[in-house]
């Protein structure tokens, strides 16, 4: 297993290159979500290719009062998981190997997208993240770089950086891995007590409630398109005393309006209830955003969107998201 482990840039440069190289960047404390990334990298690199996993807890992306010191460091276990999932090498450098002159004076700036949602809550976080990703891309020189969709804003910013700065690498997003009860896998889940973990399930339940509302509204929209006179029909039914049928017809006629707002409302209802749990969930944000720039969607939005949530349960801050599609035939 120690043959897998590299600590220095020199060792990494001397690693013989075979076929396509894929990199999976982590901060360690690997779990099944990371293993899925590594297995996907193995598949995409092919049998003749090479998979490099990086393990580095990047101090630049932790703000004051965040959990840099208590962030779990489990290198031996990480090596075992990486090897079993198909990694050819694990690059686990010390801080002074990545930043030999101390904190770098020149850094990547995330721009306006990096100031929204996670960036508003954690100022400078995305600048630090992009800086280390850029350095690790230079050090590992991959053809492919795989990142989880659970960190949707991070993934969007990395894609933007690679495009804007002409990095010669393909960025691949891998779907979020969840536990059986729906909780998104995260290294921070280990901090949750049993009661806190139960409350934390509200994050995924809220996202699924938003998704289900979208599906229900989309079905009503399809009926509205098939029955263009539904509003007139609703009025006629009301005159005849058919109250339930009239209400249904009105719902059908209104199905196309304000879908994003309906999705937000369904998700917020779940989160509001969880705010009364013991322990409560403390909401940071719930947002339905355009994945290209992470701006909030308007009431008439169509196309791909991300429904994202961040909250604290006890002292642990968790994030989650799901992709959604808004359109005439969602």
Which residues contribute to the annotated binding site for (R)-pantoate? 61, 154
Q: Could you identify the residue written with the tokens 């009025």?
A: 235
Binding annotation for beta-alanine: 61
Binding annotation for ATP: 27-34, 148-151, 177, 185-188
Q: Could you identify the residue written with the tokens 């699924």?
A: 208
Our CA angle for 3, 17, 73, nearest 5°, is 40
CA 129 from centroid of its chain's CA atoms: 14
**Contacts of range 216-222, beta carbons closer than 8 Å, 24 or more positions apart:** 217/255, 217/259, 217/262, 218/255, 218/259, 218/329, 218/330, 220/251, 220/252, 220/255, 221/255, 221/256, 221/328, 221/330, 222/329
Binding annotation: 27-34, 61, 148-151, 154, 177, 185-188
Q: Which of 177, 185, 135 is nearest to 158 (CA)?
A: 135
Cis peptide before 279 (omega within 30 of 0): yes
DSSP reduced 3-state for 169:
coil
**Integer Cα distance of 152 and 149 in angstroms:** 5
CA 296 from centroid of its chain's CA atoms: 16
8: number of Cβ within 10 Å: 13
Phi/psi of residue 290, nearest 5 degrees: -75, 125
Is 34 labeled as catalytic in the residue annotation? yes
CA 167 from centroid of its chain's CA atoms: 22
Q: Which of 40, 327, 288 is nearest to 176 (CA)?
A: 40
Active-site option among 7, 34, 250, 269: 34
The answer to whether 293 touches 152, Cβ cutoff 8 Å, is: no
Which positions are catalytic? 34
């Amino acid at each position: 297993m120690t043959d897998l482990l590299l600590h220095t840039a020199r060792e990494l440069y001397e690693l013989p290159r075979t076929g396509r190289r894929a990199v999976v960047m982590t901060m360690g404390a690997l779990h099944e979500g990371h293993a899925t990334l590594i297995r996907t990298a193995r598949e995409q690199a092919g049998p003749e290719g090479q998979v490099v996993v990086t393990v580095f807890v990047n101090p630049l992306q932790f703000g004051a009062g965040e959990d840099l010191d208590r962030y779990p460091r489990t290198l031996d276990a990480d090596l075992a998981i990486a090897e079993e999932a198909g990694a050819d090498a694990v690059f686990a450098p010390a801080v002074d190997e990545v930043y030999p002159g101390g904190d770098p004076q020149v850094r990547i700036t995330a721009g306006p997208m990096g100031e929204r949602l996670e960036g508003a809550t954690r100022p400078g976080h995305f600048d630090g993240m992009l800086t280390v990703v850029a350095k690790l891309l230079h050090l590992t020189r991959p053809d492919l770089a795989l990142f989880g969709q659970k960190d949707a804003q991070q993934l969007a910013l990395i894609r933007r950086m690679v495009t804007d700065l002409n990095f010669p690498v393909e960025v691949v997003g891998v779907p979020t891995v969840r536990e059986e009860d729906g909780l998104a896998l995260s290294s921070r889940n280990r901090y949750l007590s049993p009661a806190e973990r139960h409350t934390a399930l509200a994050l995924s339940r809220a996202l699924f409630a938003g998704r289900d509302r979208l599906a229900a509204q989309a079905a009503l929209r399809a009926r509205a398109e098939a029955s263009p006179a539904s509003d007139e029909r609703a009025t006629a039914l009301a005159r005849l005393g058919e109250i339930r049928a009239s209400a249904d017809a009105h719902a059908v006629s209104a199905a196309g309006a304000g879908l994003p707002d309906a999705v937000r409302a369904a998700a917020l209802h779940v989160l509001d209830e969880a705010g009364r749990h013991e322990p409560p969930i403390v909401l940071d944000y719930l947002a339905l955003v355009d994945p290209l720039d992470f701006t909030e969607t308007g009431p008439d939005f169509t196309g791909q969107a991300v429904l994202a949530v961040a909250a604290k349960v006890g002292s642990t801050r968790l994030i989650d998201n799901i992709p959604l599609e808004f359109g005439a035939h969602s």
